[in-house]
Amino acid sequence: MPPLPTLREPITDGVVALRMSAEHDIPEVLIAYQDDPALHLRLGEARPPSGAELGRRCEQAELRREAGESMMLSILEPGSDTCHGEIRVHNLDWQNLRAELGVWVAVQRRGAGLARRALALVAPWLLRECGLERVGLFTEADNAAMISAARGAGFRQEGTLRGYTLEQGRRVDNVALSLVRGDVLGAPGEEAGEPRGSAR
């Protein structure tokens, strides 16, 4: 599998910035889980991670990126290095050239459009830099905020997958949204609106 690109500098739209996740983000990530007891459920996790587990995840992140398996990006505000959330690129299918995204934003920063802007930055970047044809996002049918953020970032809502995930012993419907290469490449004004930043 080809490696996923790394960011030599953050990509930004002037309001939100994305950089590679780092070990010094762990305190903010732990606080985010504490402030939102349901966050791990939204992310499909059995329980909130410990600091040690997040440390191991950071240690493995570069290997997973180089193996083309996954990557983690931190959501920032320009001029600050404080992590306000994360974008997770996972479930890479290189045969079919597609990937899935997960996103979360800290409780205190929700409602400011950070998730929408972060998705609008990362999805076109992945389609351009990785040669992917599709970037998808799945979320619970009752997660109106995430659905709105994805649609605001240009994702198209495709439908509802009934009983798609098993969460706390029950089947949960998921809404499927996606952005495909044709939605991004060749779009009018794309070059002028292309986020700043570079990849290796």
Ordered per-residue pLDDT tens for the chain, 200 residues: 899 999 989 999 999 999 999 999 999 999 999 999 999 988 989 899 999 999 999 999 999 999 999 999 999 999 999 999 999 999 999 999 999 999 999 999 999 999 999 999 999 999 999 999 999 999 999 999 999 999 999 999 999 999 998 887 889 999 999 999 999 875 444 443 454 454 54
Contact 7, 199 (CB under 8 A): yes
Q: Looking at this protein, which amino acid is placed at residue 27?
A: P
Q: What is the pLDDT of residue 190?
A: 45
> What pTM was computed for the model?
0.89
Check residue 79 and report its DSSP letter. Answer: T
**pLDDT for the residue numbered 139:** 94
> What is the per-residue pLDDT for 167?
82
- Spell out the domains of the chain, with CATH numbers in brackets: 7-138 (3.40.630.30)
Q: Using alpha carbons only, what angle is made at residue 2 by residues 43 and 94, rounded to the nearest 5 degrees?
A: 60
Residue 99 CB partners (closer than 8 Å, separation 6+)? 89, 90, 91, 92, 93, 126, 130, 132, 134, 135, 136
Q: Could you identify the residue written with the tokens 């780092």?
A: 22
Check residue 169 and give its pLDDT: 83
